[in-house]
Amino acid sequence: MTLDKNQIKAVIAKRVAQELHDGDLVNLGIGLPTMVANFIPEGVDVTFQSENGLVGLGPAPEEGKEEKDLTNAGGQPVTLLPGGAYFDSATSFGIIRGGHVDYTVLGALQVDQLGNLANWKIPGKMVPGMGGAMDLTVGARHVIISMVHTQKGAPKILKECTLPLTAKNQVNLIVTEMAVIEVTDKGLVLKELGPDVTVEDVKAATEADLIIPENIGSFGL
């Protein structure tokens, strides 16, 4: 089975969503991580924070019902659920740095076997800036990286990041369309395989050393 681009993103977002529990406060990064909100299992009550200043993020507004003063951290129009709240940027990052966010889900340019993350700068090429990513990776209790496994065939899960770091030793879990990989003190542990993916496939697409346990789970569409 070959997955198209949208299916790949959906597989990743759906698997990440299964990590979240009732009562968790979650911050989703821009892009693929934002899709995680569409796959929260039924009956699981998760609260989303957006670092521009709200908790209780709801679904995108219907067309024509956008409010100019209500956006997410990507500047897109959003809604607030009943019981949601607004606050200023210092409070927002107090929430983040203070350890009140249970999970942050972010994309990556590179991630390595020490749990280091690089996602804000390609020197000389692209320098968008770190935005809130450095605070989120340091402050959130769990950091999940959700990304396509390789970049044009080149591994993104490395022995050591070569790009400027966003944070050191902070990543807990990596979810791609090929695998779920846990960052542990001993190294990266392959926990689950994606649809029609073998251990050898993952090894071939990963530069980092992988610990392969006896029992490996699986996930799918």
Partner 1 sequence: MFNLEKIITIDEAVDKIKDGMTIMVGGFLGCGSPENIIDKLVEKNVKDLTLICNDTGFPELGVGKMVVNKQFKKMMVSHIGTNRETGRQMNEGEAEVDLIPQGTLAEQIRCGGCGLGGFFTPTGVGTEVEDDKEKKVIDGVTYIYEAPLKADVAIIKGVKVDKKGNVYYNQTARNFNPLMAMAANLVIVEAEEIVEPGELDPNCIGTPHIFVNYIVGGEK
| Contact residues: partner 1, CB under 8 A | 50-54, 67-71, 73-75, 80, 86-90, 92-93, 96-97, 116, 120, 124, 126-135, 138-139, 164-169
- Select which of 19, 42, 51, 207 is catalytic: 51
Q: Looking at the chain, list the stretches that DSSP marks H as alpha helix, in order from N- to C-terminal side.
A: 5-17, 89-97, 133-139, 199-204
- Residue 177 a catalytic site member: no
Shortest spacing between CB 7 and partner 1, in angstroms: 27
Radius of gyration over every alpha carbon of the chain, rounded to an integer in angstroms:
17
Task: List the one residue out of 110, 133, 113 whose CA is nearest residue 181.
Answer: 113
Q: With contact defined as beta carbons under 8 Å apart, do 84 and 107 qualify?
A: no
Shortest spacing between CB 2 and partner 1, in angstroms: 31
Both tokens of residue 141?
């209790």
Task: List the one residue out of 132, 191, 204 whose CA is nearest residue 166.
Answer: 132
Shortest spacing between CB 173 and partner 1, in angstroms: 20
**C-alpha span between 131 and 53 (Å, rounded):** 14
CA 7 to chain centre: 17
Quick one: 72 or 176, whose CB is closer to partner 1?
72
Quick one: 103 or 120, whose CB is closer to partner 1?
120
> 130 — alpha (psi -120 to 50), left (phi > 0) or beta?
alpha
Shortest spacing between CB 107 and partner 1, in angstroms: 13
Quick one: 78 or 174, whose CB is closer to partner 1?
78
Quick one: 1 or 90, whose CB is closer to partner 1?
90
**C-alpha span between 143 and 91 (Å, rounded):** 20
Active site residues: 51
